[in-house]
Amino acid sequence: MILRKIIVRWSLIKREEIKNSYVDYLKYQKNYSDYTALNYSSDIDEFFTFLDSEIIDFLDITYDEIRFYLMKLKEKNDKNISIDRKLSSLRGFYKYLANEGYVKSNPFSLVSGPKKDKKLPRYFEYNELEELFNVPDLSTPIGKRDRLLLEMLYATGVRVGELVSIKVKDIDLSNKTILILGKGNKERIVSFGEYCYDSLIDYLDNGYNELNIKHEEYLFINNNGGVLTERGVRYILDKIIKQTSIQKSISPHMIRHSFATHLLNEGCDLITVQKLLGHESIKATQIYTHVTTDRLKEVYYHSFPRAKIEEKDK
């Protein structure tokens, strides 16, 4: 009995080490954000809890056991989108295990998730963004930083992890471009317009040096002089929206949704939006093909030859 407990304990320690190695792989080789890597880790831990309850070795699972796990998630009333995300996390983890030789093949490769709930991406209207932009107090370094944070998220559509990773040297002021290191360590160039440019200059000239007491090379600095984190960005956005009349929650990704939606509403093509967002596949960009009713009406009445009666036909 004692020997069995020792073996089980060693197995659990080894399992945790392997999982931590995978999380490090996501962060340092795949360049996933801390937030995303944490979600992957949580999904894997939840699966481990299930395996322990069923006394199943994580290196020796079967297709039927995976289907049983998915059934358990449904019984917990997990939403389809949540189940699909967890399945994606585990598929990636077991692909890593197969590549590292821990398992012969990926048992999740043939498992399909539930049909996703179709939800349109949530975004802000133009007037709501203007209200957000007017909240920061531009008489303070913190206010200048927060205004730039909003302007840059919207002007570039970058992910929050990409935003906090921007270094001052990555910015080309003359061309109004930024070198972004995205998912999978892939670089891309994003542009920004005049509003963002003005906020950037104001922050660099009148706020950045006051905040940057630790002489960081990154653009966004927190209240203590260190590098602003993803969690810090979310805290700032939550604080800003509470000072508005907007009855919506806020997230960095929601501003990214706004960036893509507004581009499409103004006639930008999907391929261009894909490149601006840094999506590897066009499928990821297709969620933004929704457009507002007003935009649909406008295109219809301007494009369809018999949408309206001309004066000469009356």
Reported as a single tens digit per residue, the pLDDT across 51-96 is 999 999 998 888 889 999 998 998 888 888 889 889 999 999 999 9
What the block records as the tokens of 209 is: 């040096």
HSE-up of 269 (CA within 13 Å, CB side)?
Answer: 2
How many other C-beta atoms can be found within 10 angstroms of the C-beta atom of residue 299? Answer: 14
Catalytic positions: 159, 183, 253, 256, 279, 288
Residue 313: pLDDT band by 50, 70, 90 thresholds?
Answer: low
Q: Please provide residue 294's backbone torsions phi and psi, each rounded to the nearest 5 degrees.
A: -60, -40
- Which letter does DSSP use for residue 227 in this model? B
126-297 belongs to which CATH class? mainly alpha
How many other C-beta atoms can be found within 10 angstroms of the C-beta atom of residue 127? Answer: 8
Reported as a single tens digit per residue, the pLDDT across 240-297 is 999 999 999 999 999 999 999 899 888 888 899 899 998 888 888 887 776 655 566 6
Reported as a single tens digit per residue, the pLDDT across 28-63 is 888 888 888 899 999 999 999 999 999 999 988 888
Reported as a single tens digit per residue, the pLDDT across 164-209 is 999 999 999 999 999 998 877 789 999 999 999 999 999 999 999 9
Q: What is the mean pLDDT of the chain?
A: 88
| pLDDT at site 7 | 40
- How far apart (Å, rounded) are the C-alpha atoms in residues 285 and 275? 9
Please report, for the chain, the start and end positions of each structural domain, with discontinuous segments joined by +. Answer: 2-99, 126-297
Cα 291 to Cα 129, 257, 287: the distances in Å are 17, 12, 10
